[in-house]
């Protein structure tokens, strides 16, 4: 029971880390900020994590695992390969401009340049998404849904477009319709897979 309580406190602290990163960024974030957000003492934070760097890496690792679980669920759902590719990409779009998961990743991308441990977490998350989409493309080709002459290039183009649409929406055009983002991304998916786009409706 004690171990379970300790795990709960650790998870609670990691959730606070993510909130603080979103609120103030990596540079200004302090262990005291995390403790205040979590409603615990700084001593308790240091009991679970030896340094600010360890705290950040643990929180980002936890968040990346959540992303992987959601992505794997989309892959294992019913539907054609195309439908599941759409779910992986379009389903990951933000619900609004204050979507915490995207604000976290946008904040973190810049930090990957400076922190090798954070870069490792983010590279692993990126590799997972690329592998998932590549596997779905291979599955769709095998099922005769489409022909894709450049799977690696298709994955790179689609993920780059998704990320770019999110940055544009989140940072500069929060009044833009989410349906417009979905429509543009679905159109790109079908175009890259050699499928018609004129029948697409702007829905997730």
Parts of the chain with a pLDDT under 50: 1-2, 204
What is the rounded CA–CA span in Å between residue 150 and residue 56?
Answer: 37
DSSP state for residue 99 in the 8-state scheme: -
Structure confidence by residue, pLDDT tens digits, 126-179: 999 999 999 999 999 999 999 999 999 999 999 999 999 999 999 999 998 899
pLDDT of residue 204: 47
| CATH topology (fold) of 1-50 | Arc Repressor Mutant, subunit A (1.10.10)
CATH 1.10.357.10 fits 53-192, yes or no: yes
- Same CATH topology for 1-50 and 53-192? no
For residue 2, give every residue at least 6 positions away whose Cβ sits within 8 Å of its Cβ, in sequence order, or none. none
> CA-CA-CA-CA torsion for 164, 167, 172, 174, nearest 10 degrees?
110
DSSP state for residue 168 in the 8-state scheme: I
pLDDT of residue 200: 62
What's the token pair of residue 186? 């679905």
Q: Determine the 3-state secondary structure of 202 from DSSP.
A: coil
What is the rounded CA–CA span in Å between residue 160 and residue 164?
Answer: 6
pLDDT of residue 203: 52
pLDDT of residue 192: 95
The domain locations on the chain are: 1-50, 53-192
* Model confidence, pTM: 0.87
Q: Determine the 3-state secondary structure of 58 from DSSP.
A: helix
């Amino acid at each position: 029971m004690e171990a379970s309580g300790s795990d709960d406190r650790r998870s609670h602290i990691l959730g606070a880390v993510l909130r603080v990163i979103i609120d103030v960024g990596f540079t200004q974030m302090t262990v005291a900020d995390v403790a205040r957000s979590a409603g615990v003492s700084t001593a308790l934070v240091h009991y679970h994590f030896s340094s600010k760097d360890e705290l950040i890496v643990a929180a980002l690792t936890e968040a990346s695992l959540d992303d992987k679980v959601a992505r794997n669920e989309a892959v294992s759902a019913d539907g054609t390969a195309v439908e599941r590719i759409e779910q992986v990409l379009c389903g990951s779009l933000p619900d609004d401009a204050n979507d915490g998961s995207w604000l976290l990743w946008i904040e973190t991308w810049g930090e990957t340049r400076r922190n090798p441990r954070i870069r490792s977490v983010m590279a692993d998350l990126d590799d997972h998404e690329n592998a998932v989409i590549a596997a779905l493309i291979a599955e769709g080709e095998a099922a005769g849904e489409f022909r894709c002459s450049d799977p690696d290039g298709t994955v790179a183009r689609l993920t780059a477009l998704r990320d770019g649409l999110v940055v544009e929406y989140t940072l500069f055009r929060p009044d833009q319709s989410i349906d417009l983002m979905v429509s543009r991304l679905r159109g790109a998916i079908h175009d890259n897979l050699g499928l018609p786009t004129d029948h697409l409706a702007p829905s997730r």
